[in-house]
Amino acid sequence: MFFKNFVIFCTLTAIPLCYADRVVFKDNFAEKGALKKWRMVNRENGAVYSVKNNVLNIRHAHFDEGNGGSFIEITVPVIKKGKLEFDVVVNASKALKANGIGLTVDLYNISTFWHDACNDWRMYFAEPTAKKLPYFDIEPVGHRKIAVVPKMKKLHYCIKFDTDADLVEFYINDIKDPAAVRYDVSVLGHAFYQPGVLRIGSYGFAPDSYDTEISNIVLSEITDNGNVAAGKNNVLIFEGISSEHYPVTKLFALNGKDVRRYTWDSPGACPNTINNYQYFKMPSFDSVANAEYIIFNDAPNVHEALQKKMLAAVRDGAKMLIMGGFFTLNKGGFAGSVLGKALPVVFSNSWSIAGNEKTPLEISGLQNKAVLYYHLNLQKSDEAEVIAYAGKVPVLLQKKYGKGSITVFTGTIGGGTDEKVFWKNGALKEIFEKALK
C-alpha cells in the first residue's frame, strides 16, 4: 500500500518517477505474527521488539543496566542497483538526556544509525580492520553525519545504491537530491559481512530506555536506465565565493525550469560536512542526468564520479558554463581532472592570474561594451572557438561536446568599480545567452 500511495503522490504532484522499479522485498508488518519471519539475535535484558498497528516498535534498553546490542534480520535478494525505503519515528516515548546510539538499519554493507541525543542520522561502512562488538559484525567507526533529523516525527528515508558505481545516496523526505552522497564505497561489503541481509537493530548504547518505530519497508531493484525524464529540465547551479555577482537566474530566462543550487563554503567554515568538497548539498546522479544547464559560478570542482556524469549529460545535450574566478579555475580542482581535460581551455599554472587594477582590458566580440581588470591566464584548447576577447586575450571560449557544449569565461571579479566592468552592465547577460542558448 505504501509503494502504491507513493506512486500516486508523485503522479498527482507532477514529480516524475525517476526509475523503473521492481519490488524485491516488502514488509509493512501487517500480517499476524509478522516478527516470526525475522531471525532475532538478542541478549538477556536487551531490546524488546514488538509489532502493533503495522509498525515495528523497538524498546531500546539503558546501557548502564548491562544491556547490549541486538538485532532482527531477514534474508533479502542481492541486487546491484536499487533503493531501500522506510519510515522512522525516533524516540516516540520521551526525550533522551545524554548521548547514545539506538536504532540501526543495515542493508548489505550499507549501515546507518540514529545518533539520538544529537538528533541526526549517520552512515558507516564495514571495514576489515573494524573492531567487532557482541551481536554486531562491525563497530560504527569513521561514521559520518548525513543530516539532522527531528525527534517525535515520522520521516521517510530512502537509500539508493549502485554497486558498479560504488555509489550510495541518502535521502530524507526529498526525492530530488540526496542529503549526503558517497561515491567510493563497497555496497555489497566484505566477505565477513553477510550480503543478502536486511538488519534492524538496537546498537545497545542507549542513554535511557526509549522507543523507535519503523514501518513501510520496501526494497526495490532499479531494472533499467529509465532514470532520465522525458525532456531535460534541471538547472544545476554550483555557487562559490563570488557567485552573487553572477545572478544567472535574473539575467537568463529559466521559466518553468527546475533550478537547483549547490552552495560551497570555504574549508573549515562548513557546519554540515556531508562530502569532501564543502558543498552543503550535492546533486544526485538523476539530477545530473536530467540537467539542461550545468553552471559553476566561481565554485570548485566536484567528485570525479559526478564529473563523469556531467560530461555524459553534456554529450546528451546539456550545456555547461564555467564562470572563472579565484576559486574555480585556479584552486578549484579542475586542472588535471576528468572535467578539466574536457574544457575549452588548457591549464598551465593553478595560480595563473593576469591583469592589474590600473589597466582595464576592453572586451570585444560582445555587443555590450565592457571591461575587465583581471583574468585567468589560460590557453585556448585545439577544439575551442573564441567568442570574445579582452584585448588580445581569449576570455569567452566554447567547444562542442557531443550534442551539447561547454563554455568557459576566464574573466574574474576584481579591479575597477565603474559601470563598465562586465558584471555591472549588459555584458554578463550576453555571456549567459551565448553560453546557454
Please report the pLDDT score of residue 11 as a whole number. 35
Please report the pLDDT score of residue 144 as a whole number. 83
* pLDDT for 128 beyond 90: no
- Chain center to CA of 422: 33
Provide φ and ψ at 7, rounded to 5°: -65, -45
How do residues 101-123 score in pLDDT, each as one tens digit?
A: 889 999 998 999 998 767 889 99
User: What is the DSSP secondary structure assignment for residue 85, as one 8-state letter?
Assistant: E
Please report the pLDDT score of residue 127 as a whole number. 57
> CA distances (Å), 168 to each of 24, 125, 246, 284, in order?
19, 11, 32, 10
Band of pLDDT at residue 211, cut at 50, 70 and 90: confident
User: Grid coordinates in use for 425?
Assistant: 552592465
Name the pTM for this structure: 0.79
User: Grid coordinates in use for 259?
Assistant: 533550478
Which single residue is written with the C-alpha cell 554578463? 428
Please report the pLDDT score of residue 132 as a whole number. 44
* pLDDT for 313 beyond 70: yes
Provide φ and ψ at 414, rounded to 5°: 135, 155
Domains of the chain (ranges plus CATH)? 2-222 (2.60.120.560), 234-436 (3.40.50.880)
How do residues 5-55 score in pLDDT, each as one tens digit?
A: 433 333 333 333 344 689 999 999 998 888 999 998 876 667 889 999 999
User: Grid coordinates in use for 257?
Assistant: 525550469
**Smallest Cα–Cα separation from 56: which of 76, 74, 67, 72?**
72
Burial, 225: exposed, middle or buried (Cβ in 10 Å; 0-12, 13-18, 19+)? Answer: exposed
How do residues 131-188 score in pLDDT, each as one tens digit?
A: 444 444 444 556 788 888 888 889 999 999 998 888 999 999 977 889 988 888 888 8
Least confident of 65-79, 134-148, 352-366: 134-148
Provide φ and ψ at 259, rounded to 5°: -85, 125
How do residues 90-100 score in pLDDT, each as one tens digit?
A: 875 555 666 67
**Smallest Cα–Cα separation from 435: which of 411, 400, 402?**
400
User: What is the DSSP secondary structure assignment for residue 62, as one 8-state letter?
Assistant: B
Average pLDDT along the chain: 82
Which range of 35-44, 226-235, 317-326 scores highest in mean pLDDT? It is 317-326
The stretch 346-374 carries a mean pLDDT of 86
**Smallest Cα–Cα separation from 133: which of 185, 197, 205?**
205
Least confident of 41-55, 71-85, 138-152, 261-275: 261-275
The more confidently predicted of residues 230 and 82 is 82
Burial, 435: exposed, middle or buried (Cβ in 10 Å; 0-12, 13-18, 19+)? Answer: buried
